[in-house]
A and B are shown apart, each in its own frame.
Chain A
Amino acid sequence: MKRLWSRLSVLLLFTMPLLLTGCGERYFVLNSAGPVARVERNLIYTSIALTLIVVIPVIVLMFYIIHRFRDKPGNDAPYEPQWSENKTLEIVWWGIPIVIIGILGTLTVRDTFRLVRPPANVTGKPLTVQVTSLNWKWLFQYPEQNIATVNYCAIPTNRPVRFILTSNAPMNSFWVPQLGGQEYTMPGMAMRLWLQADHPGKYFGSGANFSGRGYAHMKFNVVAKPEGGFQQWVNQVKSSAPALTVSGYHDLTKDSVMKETAYSSFPPGSFERIVRQEGGMYMKHKLTEATD
Chain B
Amino acid sequence: MPVDIKNFLTHFFVTGYPLIYGADASIILATVAILFVLTYFKKWKWLWTEWLTTVDHKKIGIMYLIAALLMMFRGGVDAILMRTQLMLPNMHFLGPQHYNEIFTTHGTLMILFVAMPFIFALFNIVVPLQIGARDVAFPYLNAISFWLFFFAALLLNLSFVIGGSPDAGWSSYPPLAGAEFDKGPGENYYLLSLQITGIGSMATGINFLVTILKMRAPGLTLMRLPLFTWSVVGACILIIVSFPALTAALALLLIDRVAGAHFFTMLAGGMPMMYVNLFWIWGHPEVYIVVLPAFGVFSEVVATFSKKRIFGYTSMVASIMVITVISYFVWVHHFFTMGAGPGVNSFFALATMAIAIPTGVKVFNWLFTMYRGRIRITAPMLWTLGFIPNFAIGGATGVLLAVAPADYQYHNSYFLIAHFHQVLIGGTIYGMLAGMYYWWPKMFGHRLSEGLAKHAFWWFNLGFYICFMPQYALGLMGMTRRIYTYPKGLGWGPYNFIATVGAYMMAIGFVLIVANVVYSAFYGERDTTGDIWDARTLEWSLPSPAPHYNFAVIPHVDRRDAWWVMKQERKEGKTTLDLQQEPIRPIHMPNNSGRPFILGVCFFTVGFGFAFSWYALVVLGFLAVAVLLLVRSFEYEDSHYIPVEEIKETEAAYGRL
Contact = CB atoms under 8 A, between A and B. Distances in A.
Among A52, A55, A85, A187, find the residue whose CB has the most chain B CB atoms closer than 10 A. A55
A118 to B, nearest CB: 14
Interface string A31-70: 0000001011101100110011011001101100110011
A170 B372 contact: no
A28 B361 contact: no
Contacts of B403: 43-44, 47, 104, 107-108
Interface string B589-633: 000000000000000000000000000000000000000000000
B321 interface: no
B308 A213 contact: no
B405 A108 contact: yes
Contacts of A80: 308, 372
Interface stretch (B69-77, B243-251, B343-351): B343-351
A27 B458 contact: no
Contacts of B486: 216
A204 B363 contact: no
Interface string B351-371: 001101100110111011111
A188 B408 CA distance: 22
Interface stretch (A8-16, A147-155, A237-245): A8-16
Given A62-B367, A177-B409, A184-B338, A105 B357 contact: no
Given A55-B392, A108-B404, A65 B342 contact: no
A278 interface: yes
A58 B388 contact: yes
B172 to A, nearest CB: 10
Among A93, A183, A187, find the residue whose CB has the most chain B CB atoms closer than 10 A. A93
A115 interface: yes
A207 B482 CA distance: 11
Interface string B254-276: 00000000000111011011000
A214 B96 contact: yes
B562 to A, nearest CB: 15
B184 interface: no
A222 interface: no
A112 B402 CA distance: 12
A183 B408 contact: yes
Interface stretch (B426-434, B464-472, B637-645): B464-472
7 closest A-B pairs by beta carbon, nearest first, are A279-B266, A181-B408, A188-B266, A170-B176, A51-B396, A216-B483, A84-B309
Contacts of A183: 337-339, 408
A248 interface: no
A175 B388 contact: no
A253 to B, nearest CB: 12
Contacts of A206: 478, 480
Contact of B353 (A29, A105, A191): A105
A82 B476 CA distance: 47
A14 B466 contact: yes
B400 A213 contact: no
27 contacts: A11-B465, A15-B465, A18-B473, A21-B473, A26-B491, A28-B477, A37-B409, A47-B406, A51-B396, A54-B396, A58-B363, A58-B392, A59-B389, A69-B370, A69-B374, A85-B312, A98-B357, A108-B350, A112-B404, A115-B342, A173-B411, A189-B266, A204-B490, A208-B411, A208-B413, A209-B412, A212-B167
Contacts of A208: 411-413, 480-481
Given A184-B339, A206-B478, A111 B405 contact: yes
B498 interface: yes
Contacts of B420: none
Interface residues of A, number: 98
Contacts of A122: none
A113 interface: yes
Number of contact residues on B: which range applies?
A: 35 or more
Contacts, number: 286
B409 to A, nearest CB: 5
B169 A181 contact: no
A79 B337 contact: no
A219 B194 CA distance: 33
Contacts of A11: 462, 465
B314 to A, nearest CB: 8
Interface string B384-395: 010011001100
Contact of A79 (B353, B373, B475): B373
Given A40-B405, A81-B309, A210-B176, 5 more contacts: A59-B392, A65-B375, A107-B403, A173-B412, A212-B176
Nearest to A188: B266
Nearest to A22: B476
B100 interface: yes
A24 B466 CA distance: 20
A288 B310 CA distance: 59
B13 interface: no
A44 B409 contact: yes
A62 B361 contact: no
A186 B335 CA distance: 12
B85 to A, nearest CB: 11
Contact of A280 (B266, B309, B377): B266
A27 B476 contact: yes
A70 B377 contact: yes
B96 A213 contact: yes
A82 B536 CA distance: 13
A65 B377 CA distance: 12
A97 interface: yes
Contact of B375 (A15, A29, A70, A207): A70
Nearest to A78: B372
A113 B341 CA distance: 9
Interface in A205-242: 206-216, 219
Given A171-B176, A214-B96, A7 B408 contact: no
A29 B365 CA distance: 36
B455 to A, nearest CB: 12
A31 B490 CA distance: 14
A82 B190 CA distance: 51
Contact of A170 (B181, B365, B393, B412): B181
A191 B465 contact: no
B370 A171 contact: no
Interface string A183-207: 1101111011000000000001011
Given A81-B307, A282-B266, A65 B353 contact: no
Among B100, B376, B483, find the residue whose CB has the most chain A CB atoms closer than 10 A. B483
A246 interface: no
A206 B462 CA distance: 32
A14 B399 contact: no
Contacts of A75: 374
B485 interface: yes
Contacts of B550: none
Contacts of A86: 311-312, 368
Interface string A87-125: 001100110011001001101110111111000000000
A97 B396 contact: no
B481 A210 contact: yes
Contacts of B221: none
A105 B377 contact: no
Nearest to B362: A93
B376 A71 contact: yes
